[in-house]
Structure formats: structure tokens, C-alpha cells
Amino acid sequence: MDKLLITGGQALSGNVAISGAKNAALPILFSTLLADDIVTLTNIPHLNDVTTTIALLGRLGADITLGDNMTVEVDPRSVNEHVAPYELVRTMRASILALGPLVAKHGKGQVSLPGGCAIGARPVNLHIHGLELMGADIVVEHGYIKADVPGGRLKGAHILMDTVSVTGTENLLMAATLADGRTVIENAAREPEVVDLANCLIAMGAKIQGVGTSKLVIDGVERLSGVNYRVQPDRIETGTFLVAAAVTRGSVTCTHTDPSLLEAVLVKLEEAGAVVETGEDWIKLDMQGCRPKAVDVTTAPYPAFPTDMQAQFTVLNAVAQGAARIKETIFENRFMHVPELSRMGADISLDGNNALVRGVETLSGAEVMATDLRASASLVIAGLVAGGETLVDRIYHIDRGYECIEDKFSMLGANIRRVK
């Protein structure tokens, strides 16, 4: 099992190219199941979850061609299987996104209950309830969600989401594109990744109104066509490198990104004392050698502060001037990085979904263990600023969401390498 060995103390400096967004690429890859022709996707990140998704599409019968720079061509016309098996999807939550397209296109689908990061309950009831409202018969047994549509075609419905769910919105949005009639999704997620999926579906011929708002109106069409579509840049990878620059008191420019996707993060970084400049497709953060200031953070659905940046800001506050409170409102079990950071000398007190972080002058290197994707990123950042060596174990988590992270940090001057 690979680990990352980091020797801290070096201020990061230079440019880093941001990859395509994992959380946009996965639903867009699954949306290819809806098409009647070849779909070509570019700016797909080379990640384990992406590899798993491509393997699953192949298992379902799609013809997959991989081009240069992770261009993925999917021909769904040969799909002849409708089961997403456990052995393929057990490592990632996004696997449930196969259900909506399979049911909408083929009138039936079976998807194993998903795995992924152990950061809390992500109930599938929102997906199931929405599809049932659209006419699907669904049973959950033997670890699988099994759906069947009498007559073969879903019907438009009015769906009010009990809570904001990104994957729930994406699944029902995809299903509605081929349903008979109009579907309205209220309290829909507004995340940029949902917008990217909707824009891809529109390019394929879907009729969707309200993109980027909490109310989506979808008029079903008879068929969706092939398309050539470029996936948006990864706002969480962007934020991770910006926080790493701030924590190490460095100066880093993220290229091939989109500043409009992470305004809430940039506001907090400026509040922490960073000088932030932006262009059309780049963001530069310069700490001018200064120690960051502690900032209060409350996670909430987009456009508020993203839960996927909470762990990184916990590290920032751990070495900042002053004390700050971090409140997690999305997942109930997303402070598993705190005990590991405490091993490195961080002063953090937990109280339910609140963390009080008192900044210390420096962290000390230690052996730590990644527990989920974003927690592992926070431990890498902590290792970059800590004195001595830090060994991050179980980095298969980080490989699910960050492309060549050690190479990118090395190009910014970090002393980091992958070891067996």
C-alpha cells in the first residue's frame, strides 16, 4: 500500500495546472448512458473513481475509447447489461448515478448500494423516492437497489427534495430528460457540478430550465444525441492548492481553473490575510511570507462554503494566529482528520459538529492515517508545514480525488514523494 513521505518547512511557490473536476466528470460519464450516439468528453481527470466509472460503463456494454490527455469516447449504443455490481462500485458513492440513466433509457436497472468515504450517512432514499414518483417500481434487497418501469418509460413528476442532495439532484435530473412529460425538481442542489451536468445534457438535446437555481424544470425528449463536451475545472483541487500556499506562507498561481466556482473560499482566504488576484482562468494567492489569521467557517450547500474544503481550513486554522470555530452542517462524521492533526500538535477541541481550533506556531511531523478523501488532503497540507517528516498512510483515498498530487506539489517546491 502506497504512502506519502513529506518533509515540511518549504514555502510553496510557482504555477500548478488544475485538473478537470472529479465531481463533475463522474455524473457526466454516467449521463453518456442516455445518448443515442457517441459522446466525447475532454478534461477528464485521471483518478481511481474515474477509472472505476469507465470500467462500469464497459461492464454495462458501452464501447469505450481512451484518447490522449484522458479524452474519453463513450458509445452507449451497445449497452446490454443493466446491473452495476458490488465488486465494481463498492469503493465510490457516485456509483448510484448509474441508476437514473439506466432506468430512463432502458426501463430497468440494478445498482449495488454504494460505498466510498466514511464521512457520514448519505441516504439513497431521495433517489428512490424521486424515481418512484416518476413511475418506477423499486425494491431494495440483497444489497441492491432494483428498479423497473412498467411500460418502459418514466413519467414526469413534481419532486420536492426533503434536503439538498447533489447526487440526488443529478440522478433525478438525468432520469427526467427522457421521461414522458414535465418534471419539476424543487430544492435542487445548485453546485457548479450540477450546472456542468445540466449544460452537458442540454448540449445533448435535453430541455432544462432553471439551471443554477433551486428549481429545475425538465421537459422530457424522445432521444438525446452524441456530443463533444469539456468538463469544468476542479474547484476543490484549486482550493486545496490555494490553502497549501497560504499555510506554507508561499505564493502559488492555479492555472486552468475558474475563479467564479469558489468565491466563498476566496473570501475566507482573503480574510486569512492572503493577497488574492484572479483572471479569467487563473487564481494567484500570495501570503507575502506572513502567517495566516484564523477564520471562522460554516459549511453549507453552494453557494456557501463547501464541506469539501472544511478539512483544509481546519489545517489553516491549526497554524494560524488566533482561534476560530469551524461548524460542519453537511456530514455528521467529517472531523476524522482532527485526531490525526492532534498527533501532529494541533490544538483542536470538538463539540458535536463544531471544532474550536487554536492556532499553534508550528506542527511536528508524525505518522498519520487518511480516513477519507478530503481528510487525506488536509494531512498532506499539514505535512508540508510541519517540522520534520510526516508519513501519510492509506493514500488510496487521496488518489480517488487528486491527480498526481505529489508531482504537482513537487513542482511547487515541496519535498514529497510516494513510497511503498
Residues known to be catalytic: 117
**Strand pairing class (323-327; 347-351):** unpaired
Instruction: State the Cα–Cα distance between residues 22 and 130, nearest whole angstrom.
Output: 25
Nearest Cα to Cα of residue 198 among 165, 223, 174: 174
| Buried/exposed code over 179-200 (b: 16+ C-beta within 10 A; e: otherwise) | beebbbbebbbbbbbbbbbbbb
Instruction: State the Cα–Cα distance between residues 368 and 303, nearest whole angstrom.
Output: 32
Amino acid residing at 166: V
**DSSP-assigned beta bridge partners for residue 39:** 74, 227
CA angle 87, 89, 92 (to 5 degrees): 135
Instruction: State the Cα–Cα distance between residues 99 and 172, nearest whole angstrom.
Output: 9
Q: Could you tell me if 71 and 41 are in contact, meaning their C-beta atoms sit under 8 angstroms apart?
A: yes
Helices 235-247, 263-271: axis angle to 10 degrees equals 10
Q: Could you tell me if 42 and 229 are in contact, meaning their C-beta atoms sit under 8 angstroms apart?
A: yes
Query: Nine-digit cell at 62?
Result: 458501452
Nearest Cα to Cα of residue 291 among 316, 320, 260: 320
Q: Could you tell me if 254 and 238 are in contact, meaning their C-beta atoms sit under 8 angstroms apart?
A: yes
Q: Could you tell me if 330 and 299 are in contact, meaning their C-beta atoms sit under 8 angstroms apart?
A: yes
Sign of CA dihedral 138, 141, 143, 146: negative
